[in-house]
Structure 1
Amino acid sequence: MPTSNNPLRRVAWFVLGLALAAAVAAPGATAEQPTRMDTYVTDSAGALDRAGAERVRAAVDTLYAAHKVRLWVAYVGDFAGDSPQDWAAQTARQSGFGDRDLLLAVATRDRAYAFDGELPSGVSESEVDRILTDRVEPALRDDRWADAGVAAAEGIDSAMSGGGVSTGPVLLIGALIVLVSAGLLLYQRYRRRARDRAELAQARETDPTDPAALAALPLEALHTRSREVLVELDNAVRTSAEELELAAGEFGGTAVLPFRAALENARAATAKAFAIRQQLDDAVPETPDEQRTLLIDLITTAGHADRELDARVAEFDAMRDLLIDAGPRLDALTRDIVDLTGRIPASEAELTRLAGAHPASVLAPISDNVTMAGERIAFADGCVGDGRREIARPVGEQGGAVADIRAAEGAIGQARTLLDAVDGAAAHIQQARDGLPAVLDELRGDLGAAGELTEHGGPELETAVAAARTALESAGTTSEADPLGVYHDAVAADGALDRALAAAGDRKVAAEDLTRRLDRVFADAATRVRMAGDFIATRRGAVDATPRTRLSEAQRHLDEAQRLRTEDPAAALDHARTAADLGGRALQEAQAGVQTWEVRRPPPGTAQTGAILGGILIDSMLRGGTGGGFGGGRGRRGGYRAASFGGSGGSRRVSRGGRF
């Protein structure tokens, strides 16, 4: 009952309450027991006039016609002392209501109501609560009995039709949920990145040769660290190999045997580590425990190899003390610079000629080689000038010349490789052009044989035939513009078709036929592996672990193909094909990495940037240094220093002294 603070109103309500109590106690006011309902709208309390009863029946009929839901409405004086819910439940049982019946019972004297029944499909409890709270109850409080029944029927109808819920609040709540969820997601991502950085920092400080310590690290940190150590070790091996060849030319093969043994051990360890990374990257998933075992094996293998190289640094530096004859070395480097500079115009002309004869995609691996070679030559020239200034210093202060000589040697070696790749490109293309007719003839012959085995070939032969026809069509239109690509596709299609024919016809390929195929596939694979190797070697400062892994696996398969050429040509052929595919993938992934590096590291085209890209200068903080700016000839240039023989830690030797 409504209340008020007005004293007169409280008295009025009190009198009204007494009157109602008297009415209830009167002999004529009988209790309304639950009973079976025979019509959809009953009014034993006399709450409805004729028009009101017709309105409620019409609303109930409309609900049934639209959704086949039966709403029963009962107006009674009271609920006979029962709770509204009990009275409605008993009435529903006695009336035999099913899962499509709803009951709205209203006790006009008790001023109570009940709503009972199974919720129709598509109507939620919250929607029913809103219908009763917002529409039915206000009508009952105002004694608008007919409006209450109509509101119940129309509310259910609207909810089942999709209009029972106000979209405004829902959209607002939805937007708030989205905002909160986005905020939580960003916060969680920030926390996760901070945690990942901390775990990676811990992994970098962990001894890479200690399996127990590595086992305590999180799996993701091991994955990231494994890729880092692969790049570090591969760079160290490549730089050590370049330094070792220079030393062998100066001191002879016997003098460098201990260092060559350490280098070969490191190469073998690197190949093993890359093979493990390839296994982790392939399409066959490993369990977390298997991943952890493989990652620990990878990191410890790389760690031991790295330390074996570092253990030889002091001995190597002592053998190749560049300060003893620094002057003649710088003179020799100057002659090399002059020689390479003289090659630039011819290489530029050759590259221009190739660009006019072949599409850009064919020349992409060497398109910027001449420019990069010029950058390496300019860098080497600057290092030679710095080296001459260093050796002019007093004895004991000339140590910076060592880094200058090493950096110049590395840059000159890479410049020579870059120009050789341009000058040799025509030979590779011509080799493919000369070999293409024989491959195409053999492909046509195999297609003829395939026509006789169509019924026995199955999907493998059908796929191989389609690939062979595509290769032939491509050869007819693009062989002049892209002989390397057409040659590779034709060789691959020929090999696949040959395997399918052998399976379909149950025949063996003649030994000489297989050998001929193997020679072509092997030559193709060797070219692709060499191109990828040259590209990565001269741009290793921007190449991550993935293309290096592909290249290492390509080289392994190529070596295995060479080993098996005589004893098992069929197996050798499979290894050569795999090497060709992996070599191509390595080149593509390395090119993508260099493009990303160039975008993120402006400005390009400078001598020092080229040296960093080539791995000639490395971040001193990554090699155990303490940074330092360019100048003073101490071997560091803007936080970078020249790479040298040894592991990723680099040489720990220092040079100090002077007069006092």
Structure 2
Amino acid sequence: MPTSNNPLRRIAWFVLGLVCVTAVAAPVAAAEQPTRMDTYVTDSAGALDAGDAQRVRAAVDTLYADHKVRLWVAYVNDFAGDSPQDWATRTARESGFGNRDLLLAVATRDRAYAFDGERPAGVGESEVDRLLTEQVEPALRDSRWADAGVAAAQGIGSAMSGGGVSTGPVLLIGALIVLALAGLLLYQRHRRRARDRAELEQARQIDPTDPAALAALPLAALHARSREILVELDNAVRTSTEELDLAVGEFGEPAVLPFRTALENARAATAKAFTIRQRLDDAVPETPDEQRAMLIDLITTAGHADRELDARVAEFDAMRDLLIDAESRLDALTRDIVDLTGRVPRSEAELARLRGTHPASVLAPIADNVTMARERIAFADECVGDGRREIARPVGEQGGAVADIRAAEGALGQARTLLDAVDGAAADIQQARAGLPAVLEELRGDLDTSSELTEHGGRELAEAVAAARTVLATADTAAAADPLGVFHDAVAADGALDRALAAAGDRKTAVEDLMRRLDRALGDAAGRVRMAGDFIATRRGAVGAMPRTRLSEAQRHLDEAQRLRTEDPAAALDHARTAADLAGRALGEAQAGVQTWQIRRPPPGTTQAGAVLGGILIDSMLRGGMGGGPGRRGGYRAGSFGGSGGSRRISRGGRF
């Protein structure tokens, strides 16, 4: 029988055909055609567990939150026979993606992927290439499907933030460059400072009276040397003044006339040098050549003055031989110590009373005066004790007593100045309180006058009126706490308003009216100059050239104001106001210098620290000196009459 007619064979052939059709059709049905994506992360391939899916979704959400870029991630088995790019392009079209949509499609079974969409602004082609080749593809090769999606989202976000991808080497190189630049700057700064120190040391070796040698120095070295020599000369003049005052008390004015002449010449030279330094420091610039000429003039002027003082040292010491009647001198110093010690409680009580009625800012120049006076008195007492031990030595070995006597005299002189400043502050404050009502009343009167001249006064009058009103608005409340400050502000405002009214041409200031204003301005300036001078004199070991320059200029303007008082009161008033302003600046700069000195030095409070601060003891190790030895105390020596080198003479004794 033919096979085709057998029913069993026909059933077998039917089943076999069905199986074949099913086998052929099965892979076609399993292929994943491009379709519309409804969620940002789809996983028809089952490549992600719940935690992985959450990680990818969080990274996608962060990218959108930070940069408003939508990243879609699809995990499928295969791309249905399409190339990865074609499959991604068709999916993007089906899903309606725009220019802010990106698609990462991964075929896990086919081991293929596609990254499709418009590259975000700020992301370069090279950054996309590095992202795919260095982060996405390695994760896919290791079947770390979730890591690939997270890397794609984070890499795009990093690139859009400016960090790019694979920034480690870039950051390392940048850090190395920064460190190299910082090291170079530090090295250059170190070399510059070393060079400056070397040039300054060279300048110190040059004769300060030799302009030709000075002209060969760099400009920076001339500036540094000028400030240094100003401080040296000013200290020498101040110490010489103190020594000469003591000599006048012993021998009378005629006996000290040669030394007085040398001192006055040095004082005039110092004032000239400070005036030059002030011109160099002001807001008007000079050319380098002008600066060089001025600095050479300053240094040579100071050098000649210093030499003139030093030339009188031996003669002065012969006149004031402190070993003659040394015992009686020490007895007199002991009496002075007792007298000043008795003054301390009264000054302390006065200072406490002032603190109860005035803010700390008003009393800042004298806040430490009683404490410093105690230190100076204690130091003087130590010196007297040492001096008595020195004169008990055999003849020829008593030279150390000279340094002890000088140091004690200097310390007691400063202690007296410190206590006088406390007592004088109360008088100055009371004088300001008494004079303030009249100044304010006159200021109100000038304001009334100004109302009639507003259209003629211009800007100067308007500014003066505004300043006067400001003073009047705060005077009643501020005067109780700071009468000195309010008095100064009122005097300054009244002077400015008076000049503005006179300039307007509608008010002629009577001579007596101007003289009254001038007297008040002179009193204000003299008080401020005295306060700054006392502060610097008793703390000169810590005060640099700048405040000394300001004080010297203030004194010059005050002297000029007093000289012009009768012949040109208006010009005198200008000088008085300038003197008051400069003295205030000098005091502020000196206070800042003392604060810096106290921070850099060991804690204050010892008698020797106070003596060094006051300039009674001079650092003998500076500029090549040696510590210890005759007449020295732990590397310091007492000052004396003469120039900056006048105290190089030898005596014996002292502690170390």
**Normalized against structure 2, the TM-score is what?**
0.75
CA contact (8 A) 1:314 1:651 kept: no
Cα contact 1:314–1:653 (8 A) shared by 2: no
1:640 aligns with 2:641: no
Instruction: Pick which of 405-414 and 248-257 moved more.
Output: 248-257
Partners of 2:631 and 2:651 within 8 A in 1: no
> How far apart are 1:626 and its partner, in Å?
2.6
In structure 2, the residue corresponding to 1:354 is in which secondary structure?
Answer: helix
Query: Which deviates the most, 176-185 or 382-391?
Result: 176-185
Distance apart, 1:603 and its partner CA = 2.3
**1:15-26 paired onto structure 2 within 5 Å:** none
Q: Deviations over 1:448-468 (max 9, x none)?
A: 112122223233222211211
Indicate the residue corresponding to 1:520 in structure 2.
520
The one-letter amino acid of 1:462's match is A
Aligned to 1:90: none
CA distance in 2, matches of 1:53, 1:492: 87
**Conservation of the 8 A alpha-carbon contact between 2:398 and 2:652:** no
In structure 1, what residue type is equivalent to 2:436?
L
Once the 2 structures are TM-superposed, how far is the Cα of residue 529 of structure 1 from its aligned partner? 0.2
Partner of 2:194: 194
* Aligned equivalent of 1:319: 319
In structure 2, give the amino acid aligned to 1:463: E
Residues 550 and 586 in structure 1, CA contact (< 8 A), matched pair in contact too: yes
Q: Are residues 159 and 233 of structure 1, via their aligned partners in 2, closer, same or farther at CA, if it must alter by over 3 Å?
A: same
Q: Which residue of 2 aligns with 1:533?
A: 533
User: 2:180 maps to which residue?
Assistant: 180
Change (3 A) 1:123 1:333: same
Aligned equivalents of 1:506, 1:218: Cα separation in 2 = 55
Structure 2 residue aligned with 1:41: none
**C-alpha offsets along residues 93-144 of structure 1, whole Å, 9 cap, x if unaligned?**
xxxxxxxxxxxxxxxxxxxxxxxxxxxxx999xx7888999999xxxxxxxx
Q: State whether structure 2 residue 495 is matched by structure 1 residue 499.
A: no
> For residues 192-223 of structure 1, what are the alpha-carbon distances to aligned partners after superposition, in whole Å with 9 as ceiling and x for unaligned?
12212211211222221111221222211211
Percent identity, aligned pairs only, is 81
Task: Give distance in 2, aligned partners of 1:221 and 1:357.
Answer: 49
Aligned to 1:651, what secondary structure does the other structure show?
Answer: helix
Partner of 2:61: none
Distance 1:284 1:361 in 2: 32
- Pairing 1:427–2:431 present: no
* Equivalent in the alignment of 2:391: 391
Cα pair distance change 1:259/1:51, threshold 3 Å: closer
Amino acid at match of 2:310: D
Tell me which residue corresponds to 2:566.
Answer: 566
SS in structure 1 of the partner of residue 645 of structure 2:
coil
Distance between the aligned counterparts of 1:163 and 1:547, measured in 2? 52
Tell me if structure 1 keeps the 8 A contact 2:557–2:576: yes
Match of 2:291 in 1: 291
Q: Which residue number in structure 2 is paired with residue 453 of structure 1?
A: 453
Count of residues in correspondence between the two structures:
534
- Deviation larger for 321-330 or 194-203: 194-203
Runs of 4+ in 1 over 6 A off after TM superposition: 49-59, 127-136, 157-164
> Separation in 1 of the partners of 2:83 and 2:251?
121
Change (3 A) 1:537 1:621: same
**d(CA) in 1 for partners of 2:204, 2:309:** 19
Whether contact under 8 Å (2:541, 2:612) holds in the other structure is yes
Deviations 1:270-305 (A, max 9, x none): 001111111111111112221111111111111111
Give the match for residue 217 of structure 2: 217
Q: Secondary structure at the match of 1:550?
A: helix
- When residues 461 and 173 of structure 1 are mapped into structure 2, their CA distance, relative to the original with a 3 A threshold, is same
Gap runs ≥5 in structure 1? 1-48, 60-64, 68-121, 137-156
Q: Which amino acid aligns with 1:639?
A: G
1:651 and 2:647 are equivalent in the alignment: yes
Counterpart residue number, 1:31: none
Match of 1:444 in 2: 444
Per the alignment, in what secondary structure is the counterpart of residue 618 of structure 1? strand
Cα RMSD over matched residues?
A: 3.2
Q: Is the 8 A contact 2:306 2:643 kept in 1?
A: yes
Cα distance, 1:505 vs. partner?
3.8
| Alpha-carbon distance in 2 for matches of 1:645, 1:623 | 20
Aligned residue identity for 2:650: V
The answer to whether the Cα contact below 8 Å between 2:358 and 2:481 also exists between their aligned partners in 1 is: yes
Q: Where do residues 579-598 of structure 1 align in structure 2 (5 Å cutoff)?
A: 579-598=579-598
Instruction: Please tell me whether the aligned partners of residues 543 and 594 of structure 1 are also in contact (alpha carbons under 8 angstroms).
Output: yes
**2:343 is equivalent to residue 347 of structure 1:** no
User: Amino acid of the residue matched to residue 243 of structure 2?
Assistant: E
Q: Does the CA contact (< 8 Å) of 1:623 and 1:649 recur in 2?
A: no
> What is aligned with 1:262?
262
Whole-angstrom CA distance in 2 between matches of 1:164 and 1:485: 57
